[in-house]
A and B are shown apart, each in its own frame.
Chain A
């Protein structure tokens, strides 16, 4: 039973989060920061693209770097 639950959770983790959990964390941070910047009365559309521009090369670099 525990194994089945573990497999179920592992499946959904793999389905949603994928190979690099840092991407998911970065997306949550980007959304939160966008909301905070918007609440402060400043234009906030640029936050997510900036996060994307930073996260993608970092994730790629980690993938191709030697351990």
Chain B
């Protein structure tokens, strides 16, 4: 039985839905990882920063090699239940942050500010050589950035790909996103502040939540009206509901501003 994305693709006329969802999600993570690596490379040592990237990619490759076959072996019914539930938790958390940012209750994700903060921290850290790594700080900063952001890329790629029974297509989308963002980052040698990251996160939150709802409910035994066609209602429905939440919270924020009440700022 083909996965939901395949069926949506069938409805909408191509595998673009899967590709777009994975590409967008992975591009967002790649932008964040690139900012960290650029900060480590430009202020400390490119050699150590790139060594950290390499080590991080090896760790991610091991995780994919270990989890990939295991995920593929899980029966589809259980896969949808587990993956749908996890995607729904992830999606609602992404959406929650995106709504708080869009309504002014949380500071927008600012790659330029994050870059400057990382640069300031990197400039004051002591230089230490360990083994073949001439700057341990640059190495670990890059390593952590790649592994932490990469884990989400791996999770999204494996879950979307395995549900569609087409991990290669999901992997192509993920690798394309990482390559495009990395090339752009190294071409400008600056944080990709012009990427509409907050909007992308909103869209990804909608996609993760919608597919999580669809697969999770199917995994728990439910049958959606119209089967795959339901996704064409679920995705815009989730988006509209999220936009309504933004409007309500923005109204509240504006009312607080008018009355002079200090609005609650959610920590970043």
User: Could you list which residues of chain A lie within 8 angstroms of chain B, going by C-beta atoms?
Assistant: 15-20, 23-24, 27-28, 30-32, 34-35, 37-39, 43-45, 47-49, 52-53, 55-57, 59-60, 63-66
Q: Is the CB of A45 within 8 A of B216?
A: no
Complex interface: chain A residues within 8 A of B225 (CB): 45
A-B contact pairs, 30 of them (CB 8 A): A17-B89, A18-B93, A20-B96, A23-B92, A23-B96, A24-B89, A27-B85, A27-B89, A30-B216, A31-B81, A31-B85, A31-B217, A34-B216, A34-B220, A34-B222, A38-B220, A38-B222, A44-B221, A45-B217, A45-B222, A45-B224, A49-B234, A52-B209, A56-B242, A56-B245, A57-B245, A60-B96, A60-B245, A60-B249, A63-B96
CA distance A1 to B206 in the complex (A): 40
Q: Is the CB of B105 within 8 A of A63?
A: yes
Chain B 210-249 interface residues, beta-carbon cutoff 8 Å to A = 213, 216-217, 219-225, 230, 234, 237-238, 241-242, 245, 248-249
> Is B266 at the interface (CB under 8 A from chain A)?
yes
Q: Is the CB of A56 within 8 A of B221?
A: no
> Is B117 at the interface (CB under 8 A from chain A)?
no
Q: Is the CB of B216 within 8 A of A19?
A: no
User: Could you list which residues of chain B lie within 8 angstroms of chain A, going by C-beta atoms?
Assistant: 81, 84-86, 88-90, 92-93, 95-97, 99-100, 105, 151, 209, 213, 216-217, 219-225, 230, 234, 237-238, 241-242, 245, 248-249, 252, 263-264, 266
CA distance A44 to B216 in the complex (A): 12
CA distance A18 to B242 in the complex (A): 19
CA distance A37 to B223 in the complex (A): 12
Complex interface: chain A residues within 8 A of B245 (CB): 56-57, 60
